[in-house]
Structure 1
Amino acid sequence: MAGKATDDDLLFGRFFFVHEAQAVIADQRLRSYEFVHATFGEYLTARLLDHALLLLPTRFREGERLPDDAELYALLSFTPLTDRAQVVQNLADMLDTWPDEERAGLSGLLVQLFREVPWEATHRTDHPHAPTRQTRAYRDAVYSANLLLIGTLVAGEVRASDYLGTADPADRWRRHAMAWQSHMSTESWNLYTSMLRLERIRRSNHQPDLLVGTRAVPAASHELSWILGRQEGVLHVEGAGDEVSDVIRRVTFVGDRDAELLLNAVHPVLRSLPGSLRAYVVDEKRGVGSAARMLVALLTRDQDSSEALPELYQSCLNASAVLSPREGMLFTESLIRQLTHDAPVLSDTDLHSIVSRLAKLPHIAGSAPLRRALADCAQQILGRGGSELGAALDALRVGTDQVDEDEGADDRAVIVGLAEVGRSAHTWGWLRSLDEADPLGSLHQYLLDVGLPATAARRPSAVIGLLRLALELGRTDWLAAHTAELLVLLPDNAFRLLRPADLGPLREALPEGGYDYETEFTEIEERFRSKAGARPSRP
C-alpha cells in the first residue's frame, strides 16, 4: 500500500485478508470479505501444541518406556516458541485449564523426553512435517529448549537438577545453555533468556540448583559460591595468577559478545592483578567474591553491593593479605588511595579498625608509591579521633624514617608530598628522617635530590611549602639566600598558591635590583581583598 497509512488502513492491517467474494445482482456489484485477526495464527499454533501434549500420554508403543513424540518433535524443533510471545501466552492459558493430575503427568513426561534428547530416539517414529531443512543438532537443541519452556508453563517453575538428571547441575546446565545459544540467532537467544528467568538456589544439602520459571526474579548481587561450590572459612585461593591468561584465551576463543564486553571492562585489573581473580573472600552472609570484585566495588562505590563501606574495606584487606607481595602492594596502594577519598565519610571507629588492619599487612612498606599513598592518606586522617586512632596512625608511620637506597628519589618524593601547602604540625611529626638540627636544610636537600626544577613544575605546592616553612621558622637568612632561586622556577599559576601573609617576608627576602614579582604579589592581594570586601547582592 503506497503513501501514508490512514487509521482505517492500520485497522485493516490488524487482520489477515483471506478471501473476497463478488457477485452482481440487479446491476449492483456486491462484495463480501473474510478476515482473520493477526493473532489467530498464534492461537492455532498453540491449540495444535495443546492437542499434541494432551495426546502424548496415550502414545506409548509396545516395549518403549517413552511415548512416541514424533508430532511434538516436528512442532517444537524448528523454532523457539519464544520467538512468538503470543504463542507462549496462548499455550499457557490452555494448559491452565488442565486438571492437576494431567498436568503432573505431563510434567513427568517432559522431564523424561528432555533427558532423552541427546540419545538415539528409538521411541520416535518419522514425521513428514519439515518446513525448513535443519541439522539434527539444531533441531535437538531447539526441541530441548522448548520442552523446558513448556515444563515451566505446566509447573510454574522447575528445578534444573530434575531436568538434567544430576544433583550438581552447574556444569551440565552450562553445556546445555551453550548448545542452545550456539544454535539460536542473537535475537532468538535474547527472547528466550528474557522469558525464562533463573534463580540460583541451594538445596537443603547445600548443593547448588536452579529454579527455572517465567516469573520475575529479584535482582541479587552477584557472587561465586554457586559456580565454585560451597567454600569454608574466610579466605580461599584457587590456582595461580598466571591462569588469568588461560581465562582470557578461553573467552576470546569463543568470541561471545557479552563475555568480551565484560572482559574488556576488567582487563586492566586482570593484567595488573591477575591473582585477584583467584583470591576469594568467603562470607557466610554475602557468599563468595573475588578480590578483584571487592576492589572494583570499593573504587566504584557499587550501589548494588549489600556491603557497607567499612565492610568493603575489611573484605579488601582480607583479600590483600593473601595476594603475592607484588600484587599485594599494588592492591593495597589502590585501597589506600581510595581511603584518602573516603576518610571524611568514615567514622573514627571505622577508621581506627581499617588503619589498624593496614599496619599489620606484611607488604605495607613495600614500595615508594605505596608509602606516598600512605603519606597522603595520613594527612587526611591526622588530627581526627582520640589516642587510639593516633596510636594506629603512629603504627602506620613507615617509610619516612629512612630512604631506600634503590628507590631514593621516590622515597624523597614522600617527604616532598608531606611538605606541600597546608601541612600541619601533625605532618611534621611524620618526617622523622629530617635532620632535627636543620629540618629546613634537610627538606631543601631532598628537593634538590629529587630534582628541583621538575618538582617546581609538577608539584609547585612543595616549593611553596618549603618557603612557608622558612617563614614559620623565622629563617630570614635562608629566605634571603634561596627565595629568588625558588620563585623563578615556579609556573605563573603557582603564585596563586601564596597567601597575603606570605608576601611581606618574601618581598624583604628578594635582592635589590632583581625581579621583584610585584605584579604577581599585587594580584594575590587584590584577589583576597576583593573576596573579603564582597557583599551579597540584594534580591
Structure 2
Amino acid sequence: MDATELAWRLALPCDADTHHLLHALAPLVRALPNTLRTYRTDDEQKTVSGAHVLPALVCGDRGEPARLADCHLDALDVLRHLPEAERPLVADVLARHLVQDADLLPAWVTRDLLVELIRNAPVSGAHRWAGLWPVLETYVSHEMGRADLTDKEVKVLVGHLRRYARSFTRSQDRLSQLLREAGSSRVWAAVDHGSGREVLEEARGLLHDIPAGERTPEAVIGLLRLARELGEGDWLTEHAEPLLLGLAPNELWRLRATDVDALMPVVRDAGLLSALQAVEAIWRRPQARTTPSP
C-alpha cells in the first residue's frame, strides 16, 4: 500500500472528518502500511485489522484483564502475519506492553508472547529486549516451581532462556545478561554455566572487550558480586583491586556492606580501603557517615 497515494485519495473529498481520521492513521500508514490490510478472525468469528489491534493494545484497560489478554493475543497474531520488514516495530510495541501487563496475563498468554518475541529478537535488535528479562525470569521461575513439572517441560524452559541469551551479541549485552542470570538461583542452575573460574574469566573477558568509556559500574560491581557468590576467593584476590581502581570515587557508593565483607581482605590500596570503610559505616554505623575517599 502506497501511503502517499492513499493520503491523496482520502483527501480528495475535502471532508474534515475524513482528514481527522487520516491524520490519526498517518503514523500507521507510513510505518506499518500492511496493518491496514492484515486481519485476524478469532474463535467467535470477529475480525479485526492490525491497524485496529495496535491502538486497542495501547488503550487497553488494566481493569479488564480478560480483555487485555485478548488485545495482546490479537497483536501477537497480527505480528505473525505481517511482512518481515514490519514485524520489528510491532514486536517492539508488544514487548513494551508485555512488560507493563505481564502481572495480569495468564501464564500461557505470557508464554506465547515470550516465545514469539524471543524468536523476533535477532531481527528487531537484541539490545532493545533486555527489558523483557523480568517477565521471562518470573515466568520461568514460576513454572520451574511447579510440583508436576516434567523433564521435557524443564528442557523447554531452559531452551527459552538459552534462545533469549543467544540474541545478545555485543560484549556489554552478553555480560549484562550473564549477570541478570546470576540474580536467581533457579535460573542460574538451569542455564549451567560451568565452573566458577570459567564463568568469571568469560565475564572478565567480556568486560575487557567493552571500550573503557562504556564500562558501567554496575557491570564491574556485578562481576565482583558474582565472584563472591561463586566462592572464588582466589579470583577476587587477583582481580578485585584492579577492577575497583577502575571505578570513579563516587561510583564506589554503589557497593553495599556485604560487598565490603568480601573485598576488605583482598584490597591493599589505602584509598580503596578508606572507601570500603565508609561504605560499611553507612550500613552498620549510621552516625559515622562519610564520603568515600578518592
* TM-score of the aligned structures, taking structure 1 as reference length: 0.43
**Are 1:448 and 2:212 an aligned pair?**
no
Higher strand fraction: Structure 1 or Structure 2? Answer: 1
Identify the residue that residue 142 of structure 2 maps to in structure 1.
Answer: 384
Residues 124-158 of structure 1, C-alpha deviations (whole Å, 9 max, x = no match): xxxxxxxxxxxxxxxxxxxxxxxxxxxxxxxxxxx
Identify the residue that residue 103 of structure 1 maps to in structure 2.
Answer: none
Report deviation, 1:353.
3.8
Q: Which has the higher contact order (CA 8 A, sep 6+)?
A: 2
Question: One-letter code of the match for 1:382?
Answer: V
Structure 1 CA distance, aligned partners of 2:142 and 2:245?
Answer: 37
Of 117, 120, 128, which residue of structure 2 is paired with 1:364?
120
Identify the residue that residue 94 of structure 1 maps to in structure 2.
Answer: none
Identical residues among aligned pairs (%): 25
Do the aligned partners of residues 274 and 398 (structure 1) sit closer, same or farther apart at CA in structure 2, a change above 3 Å counting?
A: farther
Of 179, 191, 202, which residue of structure 2 is paired with 1:419?
179
Q: How does 1:22-421 map to 2 (within 5 A)?
A: 242-250=1-9, 267-283=26-42, 285=44, 287-302=46-61, 308-346=67-105, 350-356=106-112, 358-359=114-115, 363-367=119-123, 368-369=126-127, 372-385=130-143, 386=146, 387=149, 393-399=157-163, 408-409=169-170, 413-420=173-180
Residues 163-214 of structure 1, C-alpha deviations (whole Å, 9 max, x = no match): xxxxxxxxxxxxxxxxxxxxxxxxxxxxxxxxxxxxxxxxxxxxxxxxxxxx
SS in 1 for 2:272: coil
Contact kept? 2:62, 2:101, Cα under 8 Å: no
Structure 2 CA distance, aligned partners of 1:265 and 1:366?
Answer: 31
Q: Which has the larger radius of gyration?
A: 1
SS in 1 for 2:39: strand
Contact kept? 1:371, 1:399, Cα under 8 Å: no
Identify the residue that residue 227 of structure 2 maps to in structure 1.
Answer: 470
Of 264, 267, 271, which residue of structure 2 is paired with 1:507?
264
Report deviation, 1:305.
8.2
Contact kept? 1:467, 1:483, Cα under 8 Å: yes
Do the aligned partners of residues 280 and 453 (structure 1) sit closer, same or farther apart at CA in structure 2, a change above 3 Å counting?
A: same
Contact kept? 2:240, 2:267, Cα under 8 Å: yes
Question: One-letter code of the match for 2:136?
Answer: A
Structure 2 CA distance, aligned partners of 1:462 and 1:309?
Answer: 36
Report deviation, 1:383.
1.6
Report deviation, 1:374.
4.7
Contact kept? 2:35, 2:49, Cα under 8 Å: yes
Structure 1 CA distance, aligned partners of 2:189 and 2:68?
Answer: 30
Question: One-letter code of the match for 2:176?
Answer: V
How many residue pairs are counted as aligned between the two chains?
Answer: 278
Question: One-letter code of the match for 2:161?
Answer: R
Do the aligned partners of residues 508 and 360 (structure 1) sit closer, same or farther apart at CA in structure 2, a change above 3 Å counting?
A: same
Question: One-letter code of the match for 2:110?
Answer: I
Contact kept? 2:39, 2:47, Cα under 8 Å: yes
Contact kept? 1:280, 1:291, Cα under 8 Å: yes
Structure 1 CA distance, aligned partners of 2:23 and 2:179?
Answer: 40
Question: One-letter code of the match for 1:280?
Answer: Y
RMSD of aligned residue pairs (Cα, Å): 4.0
Structure 2 CA distance, aligned partners of 1:480 and 1:289?
Answer: 62
- Structure 1: runs of 5 or more not aligned: 1-241, 531-539
Contact kept? 1:415, 1:446, Cα under 8 Å: yes
Structure 1 CA distance, aligned partners of 2:66 and 2:237?
Answer: 56
Report deviation, 1:440.
1.0
Do the aligned partners of residues 401 and 358 (structure 1) sit closer, same or farther apart at CA in structure 2, a change above 3 Å counting?
A: closer
- Structure 2: runs of 5 or more not aligned: 287-294
